[in-house]
Amino acid sequence: MNFNILDVVPHANPMCLLDSVETYSTNSVTCLLTIQPETLFFDTSLNGVPSYVGIEYMAQTIAAFSGIHGQLAGKKTKLGFLLGSRKYAPECTVFPNNATLQVYAEQVIQEESGLFVFDCTISINNIAVVNANINAFQPPDAEAYLNSVRNNGKEE
């Protein structure tokens, strides 16, 4: 089954930074994007995208994983939150112009509370340039959660 990236990542253009879903399985997904001058966050002085943007590529790949599995279960794509990462240490400072990035995310922990941990890798030409563990949170009801946060945890 093919998935349109805009159907599985809860961002509209231009904030959906990924181009497509390459593969998916029960516990992993690989998404693709090609760096070009019109790519959001492209820096002409670097002739590419700063590698720190890769953490958002990983987060959106995790969102694609969730969206795909939601659609397969007949559910609407749900909002999730990037909590942080461990050891995000890219081996490059820039994702260069015309490079196609393969962003892989594999779920390693899923708790009933909605906490997830993914092992993520960004590769260029099948060579890993970034690897990190990403912590994400997907509450059962994102709107109620956001309202709670807005009200400093106080119920209305």
> Which tens digits make up the pLDDT trace of 73-89?
998 877 888 999 988 99
pLDDT at 97: 98
Residue 30 bridge partners (DSSP)? 23, 104
Q: What is the pLDDT at residue 8?
A: 95
More reliable by pLDDT, 137 or 144: 137
| Tokens linked to 76 | 């609407």
pLDDT (tens digit, 9 = 90+) per residue, 23-54? 999 999 999 999 999 999 999 999 999 999 99
Q: Is the pLDDT of residue 141 over 90?
A: no
Residue in this structure with the two tokens 């002085």, named with its chain if needed: 45
Q: What is the pLDDT of residue 127?
A: 97
Q: Parallel, antiparallel, or unpaired for β 94-96 and 20-24?
A: unpaired
Compute the average pLDDT of residues 145-156: 72
Sheet of 20-24, strands arranged across: 20-24, 28-34, 100-110, 115-124, 127-137, 81-86
pLDDT reading at 156 higher than 60 = no
What's the fold here for domain 5-150? Thiol Ester Dehydrase; Chain A (3.10.129)
136 vs 132: CA distance, rounded Å: 13
State the Cα–Cα distance between residues 32 and 121, nearest whole angstrom: 12
The predicted pLDDT at position 80 comes to: 87
Average pLDDT for 108-125: 93
Whether 152 has a pLDDT exceeding 80, the answer reads: no
| DSSP-derived pairing of the beta strands 81-86 and 28-34 | unpaired
Give residue 134's pLDDT: 96
pLDDT, tens digit, 9 for 90 and up, residues 62-77: 999 999 999 999 988 7
